[in-house]
Amino acid sequence: MCGTAPITDDPAHAFEVVVEEQHWNHVYRAIEYIKAGQREKTMTDPTDSIDSALDDFWSQETSTELEE
CA 22 to chain centre: 30
Signed CA dihedral, 16, 19, 25, 30: sign only: negative
46 band by pLDDT with thresholds 50, 70 and 90? confident
Measuring CA to CA, which residue among 45, 17, 51, 42 is closest to residue 31?
Answer: 17
Side-chain half-sphere CA neighbours of 31 within 13 A:
6
pTM: 0.45
Whether the per-residue pLDDT at 14 is higher than 80: the answer is no
Percent residues over pLDDT 90 in the chain:
35
